[in-house]
Amino acid sequence: MAMASLARRRAAEAVLLRRMQATAAWASAWRGYAAAPGEESDVVVIGGGPGGYVAAIKAAQLGLKTTCIEKRGALGGTCLNVGCIPSKALLHSSHMYHEAKASFAHHGIKFSNLEIDLPAMMSQKDKAVAGLTKGIEGLFKKNKVEYVKGFGKFVSPSEVSVDLLDGGSTTIKGKNIVIATGSDVKSLPGVTIDEKKIVSSTGALALSEIPKKLVVIGAGYIGLEMGSVWNRLGSEVTVVEFAPDIVPSMDGEIRKQFQRMLEKQKMKFMLKTKLVGVDTSGSGVKLTVEPAAGGEQSILECDIVLVSAGRVPYTAGLGLDSIGVETDKGGRVLVDKRFMTNVKGVYAIGDAIPGPMLAHKAEEDGVACVEFIAGKEGHVDYDTVPGVVYTHPEVASVGKTEEQVKASGVAYQVGKFPLLANSRAKAIDDTEGLVKVVAEKETDRILGVHIMAPNAGEIIHEAVLALQYGASSEDVARTCHAHPTVSEALKEACLQTYLKAIHI
């Protein structure tokens, strides 16, 4: 018995020793390129969003000792945690519900007792987010990026003080420091976002019940997407916009069709309208609005107000003034073509600098920035950054609008193809939309492509590639496209641009 007990004890000790050795090996592998305490990193990235975490991984892949500081405690930034990813999860779930309610019977699928389980819908969204954030942590380990959880601010051009989430503080030293702090919700004067009755996009992603009436302030990408989610789930949605049009950056012709489509889905619009007062004293919210040019006021009553008036760079509290980093009036960090600020060794990317506030643009910035730091050449072509509104149908675009080309004085030609004439769209009974191509008349070089169609956000990348390499509409038209696909609508629009489409 004594011998057996001794054997068991020695076996247990051996297992414990192996675990300790494995933990030590894991910790050693985790540090990898990471600087030891007090050691200087080659690159320190402040912010773990799409721009920041991609920059950190790329820097490590280029052989640079890299540290990434993230205040949220979860990687992925606004996009992954409370933006792009959870909103797309809800857009997809709400679209499935709407299809089941409005379209399934037409396809011969009938059932009774269709209902919404909102907690389950939210759980699916949260599960997707959690899986992806953990996935980025795994990529950090794989690429040997040191991950520091806390709020970082400059104490010198080569030092960042971090208030750690677990308590205490530390100082990270870096030869090169990249500001990748992203952006925050833009507030409106006199409007307090409490994430209960008056919510930002963050609150709109986590409502505990479906509001009977929802008012969206702002007719941009985010407002229309979140308005679509709750509209599909049964809310009466009204969009209030100060400007005369929704999504001002969109091609005018596409915009008009897009608005008609949203109105067909029972979303209401109050354009050229200004919010002048908010009353939350009752059980709901009362909004006082008036024409943007002035005039008679009216009252809108609702359960929830979504403030979606844009975003602002998140650069306050970083200690930029203390080291002399220049910003513009909007708080955006000013950089040169190599993403360097006016302070040597300090860089900035993504939403923190001028340019479109898009996750994929931030990622491209991050890669190019650290390539420059590593002594290589980086490049981002901002003329070929696509934009997508993830409603249904989706609206995607790249390049110039017809209005922009016309204003430039360049002679141009336009080709359009309606989805109503596309065989795949007809087969799946989803024919709302069109493809529009704008090309230079003399050379036929494509200047802009605008798509309103199911999965337009996937189709647009063919157009991005075409613009990137200076393709003509004939180049795309003569490229074989699989049949039947919605992508054939782009081929036909290009045919219509330089010659004549086949199927109209």
DSSP states of 108-159 as a string? T---S-----HHHHHHHHHHHHHHHHHHHHHHHHHHT-EEEEEEEEEEETTE
| Cβ neighbours of 214 (radius 10 Å) | 26
488's CB contacts (< 8 A; 6+ apart) are: 422, 423, 424, 481, 482
Is 241 labeled as ligand-binding?
yes
The CB density around residue 483, as the number of other CB atoms within 10 Å, is 10
Instruction: Confirm or deny that 358 is annotated as ligand binding.
Output: yes
- Helix %, strand %, coil % for the chain, to 5? 40, 25, 35
Cross-strand bridge partners of residue 67: 44, 146
Which pairs from 123-130 meet CB under 8 Å and 24+ separation? 124/89, 124/93, 125/86, 125/89, 125/90, 125/93, 125/205, 126/86, 128/85, 128/86, 128/89, 129/76, 129/80, 129/81, 129/85, 129/86, 129/89
Among 106, 392, 483, 503, which one carries the catalytic annotation? 483
DSSP 23-51: HHHHHHHHHTTSPPTTPPEEEEEE--SHH
Tokens at 351, concatenated: 């939403």
DSSP 300: E
359 known ligand binder? yes
Q: Are 211 and 301 spatial neighbours (Cβ–Cβ below 8 Å)? A: no
User: Known binder of ligand: residue 225?
Assistant: yes
Q: Nearest Cα to 79, choosing from 393, 311, 250?
A: 311
85 assigned to a ligand binding site: no
H/E run at residue 252: helix 252-264
| Contact present, 83 and 128 (Cβ < 8 Å) | no
51 is in an annotated binding site: no
- If residue 475 lies in a helix (H) or strand (E), which one and from where to where? helix 473-477
Q: Is 137 annotated as a binding residue?
A: no
Q: Is 376 annotated as a binding residue?
A: no
User: 351 a known binding residue?
Assistant: yes
Task: Tell me whether residue 310 is annotated as binding.
Answer: yes
Q: Is 1 annotated as a binding residue?
A: no
d(CA 305, CA 298): 16
Q: Is 387 annotated as a binding residue?
A: no
Q: Is 219 annotated as a binding residue?
A: yes
481 assigned to a ligand binding site: no
Residue 257: what are its φ and ψ, rounded to 5°?
-65, -35
Distance, CA of 349 to CA of 179 (rounded, Å): 6
Give catalytic status of residue 106 as yes or no. Answer: no
Which residues participate in the annotated binding site?
A: 88, 152, 181-183, 218-225, 241, 310, 351, 357-360
Which residues participate in the annotated binding site for FAD?
A: 88, 152, 181-183, 351, 357-360
Which residues participate in the annotated binding site for NAD(+)?
A: 218-225, 241, 310
Q: Which residues are catalytic?
A: 483
